[in-house]
């Protein structure tokens, strides 16, 4: 599925869902085309999308159709923007299409992202990323590099959880930034300093999937806290390196438009 396009040619290989594609997740992917199912949000799916963009890996980018009718049961969390759609079972009756998706049992955890690829129904973001990283040669050059990438990934998973837990009124709160980020930031900086053989990478001297994961987290962080990376030159170099990849840049340029096309893009998910 990886295309043979040259590296400097901008490729956005994700096929967006079409208007008449409702409930397409219920059917097997057409022509064996891999399918990523998620909400109309960046969230946990975005690292997968960015990896695929870099590799020119073609897949269907299926996003549940958002619905705004459901009343939120967690106004203390969502009060900053009345009327924001609720997508989860915890905070409300949920996105209608997602409720049907869960009931259909295609996702073994009942959660998304779900990636249908090579006849597998894969869930858990890191498992999806590792599987794709093997296919796309982004898993590290040696078993040791893959293990180091896993160490970085687990630390980024912790960061993700901290950020989600600290998100109040749609932004990472000051406590996170003051109490948690300096510790995690310093740890990640040390990891890049220890595992990388060149600036701009977490591990070795070639891109691995955790560079895309880091890029996504760091850009989200900087949106909330401009200058968040200023004390972390190695992390900044990784974010810059990934942002400057032509295919990643092409993805970033088109994604806002894609998010708008389906409507009600969930901007508060990481």
Ligand X SMILES: N[C@@H](CCC(=O)N[C@@H](CS)C(=O)NCC(=O)O)C(=O)O
CA-to-CA separations, 204 to 38, 142, 194, 200, 215, in angstroms, rounded: 31, 10, 9, 10, 16
Size of site (CB under 6 A) for ligand X: 9
Answer yes or no whether residue 43 interacts with ligand X by CB under 6 A.
yes
Please provide residue 157's backbone torsions phi and psi, each rounded to the nearest 5 degrees: -60, -45
How crowded is residue 262: how many other Cβ atoms within 10 Å of its Cβ? 17
Binding residue (CB under 6 A) for ligand X from 17, 35, 42, 44: 44
Answer yes or no whether residue 85 interacts with ligand X by CB under 6 A.
no
Binding residue (CB under 6 A) for ligand X from 15, 67, 70, 124: 124
259 by DSSP, 3-state: which? helix
Answer yes or no whether residue 89 interacts with ligand X by CB under 6 A.
yes
Tokens of 80: 């900053």
Name residues whose C-beta falls within 8 Å of residue 248's C-beta, 6 or more positions apart in sequence.
Answer: 50, 53, 54, 212, 215, 242
Binding residue (CB under 6 A) for ligand X from 33, 68, 74, 88: 88
Binding residue (CB under 6 A) for ligand X from 15, 67, 70, 111: 111
Q: Name the residue with the smallest CB distance to ligand X.
A: 111
Binding residue (CB under 6 A) for ligand X from 112, 207, 228, 235: 112
Answer yes or no whether residue 129 interacts with ligand X by CB under 6 A.
no
Name residues whose C-beta falls within 8 Å of residue 200's C-beta, 6 or more positions apart in sequence.
Answer: 211, 237, 238, 240, 241
Answer yes or no whether residue 216 interacts with ligand X by CB under 6 A.
no
Tokens of 112: 């998304």
Tokens of 260: 């708008």
Nearer to ligand X, 12 or 112 (CB): 112
Q: Which stretch binds ligand X (CB under 6 A): 1-9, 66-74, 107-115, 184-192?
A: 107-115
CA-to-CA separations, 83 to 41, 72, 255, in angstroms, rounded: 17, 8, 24
Binding residue (CB under 6 A) for ligand X from 37, 55, 125, 166: 125
> Alpha helix locations (H) across 72-180?
75-78, 96-104, 125-136, 143-165, 174-175
Q: Which stretch binds ligand X (CB under 6 A): 108-116, 144-152, 175-183, 222-230?
A: 108-116
To the nearest whole angstrom, how small is the minimum distance from the Cβ of residue 71 to ligand X? 17
Q: Which residues bind ligand X (CB under 6 A)?
A: 43-44, 88-89, 111-113, 124-125
């Amino acid at each position: 599925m990886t295309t043979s396009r040259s590296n400097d040619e901008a490729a956005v290989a994700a096929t967006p869902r079409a208007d008449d594609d409702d409930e397409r997740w219920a059917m097997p992917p057409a022509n064996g085309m891999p399918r990523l199912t998620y909400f109309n949000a960046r969230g946990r799916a975005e690292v997968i999308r960015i990896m695929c963009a870099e590799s020119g890996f073609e897949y269907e980018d299926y996003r549940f159709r958002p619905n705004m009718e459901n009343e939120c049961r967690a106004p203390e969390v969502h009060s900053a923007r009345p009327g924001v759609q609720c997508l989860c079972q915890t905070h409300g009756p949920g996105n209608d299409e997602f409720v049907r998706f869960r009931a259909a049992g295609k996702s073994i955890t009942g959660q998304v992202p779900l990636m249908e690829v090579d006849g597998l129904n894969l869930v858990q973001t890191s498992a999806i990323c590792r599987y794709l990283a093997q296919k796309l040669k982004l898993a590290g050059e040696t078993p040791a590099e893959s293990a180091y990438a896993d160490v970085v990934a687990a630390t980024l998973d912790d960061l993700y959880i901290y950020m989600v837990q600290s998100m109040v009124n749609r932004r990472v709160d000051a406590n996170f930034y003051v109490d948690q980020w300096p510790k995690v930031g310093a740890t990640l900086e040390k990891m890049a300093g220890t595992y990388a053989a060149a600036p701009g990478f977490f591990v070795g001297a070639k891109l691995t999937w955790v560079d895309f994961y880091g890029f996504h987290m760091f850009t989200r962080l900087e949106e909330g806290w401009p200058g968040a990376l200023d004390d972390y030159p190695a992390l900044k170099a990784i974010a810059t390196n990934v942002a400057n990849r032509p295919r990643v840049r092409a993805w970033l340029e088109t994604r806002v438009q894609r998010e708008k096309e389906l409507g009600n893009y969930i901007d508060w998910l990481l």
